[in-house]
Copies of this chain bind each other. A is one copy, B any other.
Amino acid sequence: MAFVFLKTLGTGVVMQRLIAVGGLLVLIALSLPAMAGKAPPVSEDSQACLDCHATATPDIVADWRRGLMSRTTPAMALKKPELQRQFSAAKKDVPAALRNTVVGCAECHTRNPASHADTFDHEGFQVHTVVSPRDCAVCHPVEKSQFQQNLMGQARRLFIRNPLYMDLASKINGVLKLDGDKLAYLKPTPADEAESCLYCHGTEVKVVGKVTRDMGDFGEMTFPKLSGWPNRGVGRKNPDGSLGSCTACHTRHQFAMHQARQPQSCSQCHKGPDVPAYKIYQVSKHGNIYNALKSEWNFKAVPWTVGKDFTAPTCAACHASLLVDAEGVVIAKRTHAMTPRLWVRLLGLIYSHPHPKKADTSIIKNKDGMTLPTALDGTPALKYLISPSEQARRKKNMTKICLSCHSTQWVQGQWSRLDASIKSSDAMVAAATGLMTRAWKQGLAQGPAQGGSPFDEYLERLWVEQWLFYANSVRYATAMMGADFGVFANGRWYTTKTVLQMKAWMDKQK
C-alpha cells in the first residue's frame, strides 16, 4: 500500500515529509535513553532484599517494580511542583540517607526498628513484617496525620471501646449452642472476630512468640510469630503501637494511586447491607459513566483535572482527591481525613446525626448514658457532634465539587432531597424503635432495662435491620443517586415492611 502511495507523490515531497516524520521519531528515540537509562538507584539494602525475594516472592517484587515508588526518589519527588506531588514531607524532614534512592523494601521494612515489636534479625537486617502508618509518615506525614482524624483511622479503637458495639458483635459472631430447651451464646473466638467486624475495623497485630521454619534453599530462619495477622483493616493496631493500615486502600506493593481512585477499593468494606455505598454507586449515573467510559480516563494524573482526566466522580473524587479545574485552579484539596467534605453521618446510630467532632466515637455518651450519638428517642448527643456552622462549612466544600458539573439549582435540589430522605428514614427508625421499646416494656422481649442484650432475640434483629440495613440504604441511595436502593433493594419497601412485620409479630404474642 505504501508503494502504491509513493507513485502519487514526487520524490522530493516524499523525502521532505519522510524527514519530517522521521524527525519526530528521532525525537522519541532520543528521549528513550533519558527515560530508560537513568533509572534512579536502589539502595544497597533494598538490593539485598531483591536478590532473594525476586525468587522467593516474585509477585511482590514484580508488583513493586510496577509502582511509582520503585522509580522515584524523595529528591525527585521534592522537585515536582507542589500540586503534582504525592509526597508531603518537607525537605528538611527527609533523612539524608533516604533522599537519593528509590523507596524499596528496606526503606519501609527496616524503618524505625526500635519501635517495632515485630523487628527481627533477617539475614543481617533488622526487618519488621508489618509496615505501619508511622513508617509511611517519613515521606507522607500529612496523610498520616489526617488519617488519624478519620473515623477509619480510629475504626478499631472506637469499636472495641464501645460496649454496645462489642455486645452487638458478640451476638452476631458468637456460636449458639442448644442446651436442653435453651439457646446459649459462646464468646466469639478471636479468629471469628478477625474474619467479621475486625476484618475492616482492624485487628491488633501482636508478637506472641517466635517460630523457626525451614525455608528450603534459604535454610532455617526464625521469625516473630504474630497474632491478628493477616489483617488489612483501616484501624489496625500495629506492633509499633500505631493505628491504621495504609495498604487497606493503597494495596501493597504497587501502592497505586490509580487503584485507590477506583471504587472497587472502597467496595472491600462498603458493600454490605449496612453501608451499601459501592452497590449504590454501581447503579448511579456516576457509576454508569465510570463503568462505560473509564477506559478513556486518566487515573494517574496528579492533580486530577475534572473533565480532562475524568468525566464522572469515583468515591475518591468526592471524598479524598485533590481536584483542579481545566485552568489548574484547586476545586478541592486532598484529604485523608475525609471529614472536611462530610457534614452529616448517614450511618444511623441509631439515627443519622451531625458528624462526630472526634474520630474516636467511643467517648460519646447520649442522654440515656448509651455510647451512641443519638438516643432511642432520637435526641442527638450534641456535645460530641459538630455544630451547624461547621456542618455548613463542610457542605460548602462538597458543593464546590458538585458545581464542577452541576448547576447551583441542581445541587440545592439534591441536598434538599437528601434532607428529606434523612428525615423520613429517621421517622421509620422511630416507628420501629417505638415498637421495640413497647415490646421490651410489655415483656415480649428482654431489653437492656430487663437486663438483656438488645441484640439477641428475633424481634430485636428485625429492629436492628431497620436502622442498620434499611434506613442506611435509603439515605445512601439518595446521597449517591442509586434509587433502587431507596425503594425495593433494601430501601423503603423494607423500612415499611419491617414495621408491619414487627407489629404483626407483637400482636400475635398477646
CA distance A6 to B24 in the complex (A): 9
CA distance A400 to B63 in the complex (A): 18
Q: Residue A428 contacts which of B2, B176, B271 (CB distance < 8 angstroms)?
A: B176
Instruction: Report whether B192 and A421 are in contact in the complex, using a CB–CB cutoff of 8 Å.
Output: yes
Q: Residue A3 contacts which of B20, B195, B491 (CB distance < 8 angstroms)?
A: B20
- Which of chain B's residues have a CB closer than 8 A to the CB of A335? none
CA distance A23 to B488 in the complex (A): 62
CA distance A398 to B358 in the complex (A): 44
Task: Looking at the assembled complex, report how far the CB atom of A422 sits from the nearest CB atom of chain B, in whole angstroms.
Answer: 10
Instruction: In the complex, identify which listed stretch (A11-19, A94-102, A145-153, A348-356) lies at the interface while the others stay far away.
Output: A11-19
Instruction: In the complex, identify which listed stretch (A261-269, A338-346, A386-394) lies at the interface while the others stay far away.
Output: A261-269
Question: Residue-by-residue, is A140-181 near B (CB-CB < 8 Å gives 1, otherwise 0)?
Answer: 000000000000000000000000000000011111111000
CA distance A197 to B488 in the complex (A): 9
Task: Looking at the assembled complex, report how far the CB atom of A128 sits from the nearest CB atom of chain B, in whole angstroms.
Answer: 12
CA distance A282 to B271 in the complex (A): 10
- Which of chain B's residues have a CB closer than 8 A to the CB of A431? 175-178, 183
Question: Residue-by-residue, is A397-413 near B (CB-CB < 8 Å gives 1, otherwise 0)?
Answer: 00000011111111001
Give this chain's copy count. Answer: 3
With an 8 A cutoff between CB atoms, is A446 at the interface? Answer: no
Q: Residue A492 contacts which of B173, B183, B271, B501 (CB distance < 8 angstroms)?
A: B173
Instruction: Report whether B21 and A2 are in contact in the complex, using a CB–CB cutoff of 8 Å.
Output: yes
Instruction: Report whether B172 and A492 are in contact in the complex, using a CB–CB cutoff of 8 Å.
Output: yes
CA distance A469 to B55 in the complex (A): 41
Q: Residue A416 contacts which of B191, B416, B508 (CB distance < 8 angstroms)?
A: B191
Instruction: In the complex, identify which listed stretch (A35-43, A78-86, A289-297, A369-377) lies at the interface while the others stay far away.
Output: A289-297
Given A254-B311, A285-B251, A407-B57, the answer on whether A21 and B25 have CB atoms closer than 8 Å is yes
Q: For chain A, residues 24 to 70, give those with C-beta under 8 angstroms from any C-beta of chain B.
A: 24-30, 54-55, 57-63, 66
Instruction: Report whether A307 and B63 are in contact in the complex, using a CB–CB cutoff of 8 Å.
Output: yes
- Which of chain B's residues have a CB closer than 8 A to the CB of A421? 191-192, 195
- Which of chain B's residues have a CB closer than 8 A to the CB of A175? 424, 427-428, 431
Instruction: Report whether A307 and B58 are in contact in the complex, using a CB–CB cutoff of 8 Å.
Output: yes
CA distance A258 to B296 in the complex (A): 12
CA distance A160 to B431 in the complex (A): 27
With an 8 A cutoff between CB atoms, is A327 at the interface? Answer: yes
- Which of chain B's residues have a CB closer than 8 A to the CB of A416? 191
- Which of chain B's residues have a CB closer than 8 A to the CB of A449? none
Task: Looking at the assembled complex, report how far the CB atom of A228 sits from the nearest CB atom of chain B, in whole angstroms.
Answer: 9
Given A22-B22, A292-B259, the answer on whether A17 and B3 have CB atoms closer than 8 Å is no
* Selected A-B contacts with CB under 8 Å, 9 pairs: A5-B23, A5-B27, A18-B18, A62-B308, A175-B427, A191-B424, A251-B288, A254-B311, A269-B484
A interface with B by C-beta (< 8 Å): 1-3, 5-6, 9, 14, 17-30, 54-55, 57-63, 66, 129, 171-178, 183, 188-189, 191-192, 194-197, 199-200, 211, 213, 215, 223, 225-226, 229-230, 232, 251, 254, 256, 258-259, 262, 264-265, 267-269, 271-274, 278, 282-285, 287-289, 291-293, 295-296, 306-308, 311, 325-327, 403-410, 413-414, 416-417, 419-421, 424, 427-428, 431, 434-435, 438, 456-459, 461, 468-469, 474, 477-478, 482-484, 486-489, 491-493, 496-497, 499-501, 503-504, 508-509
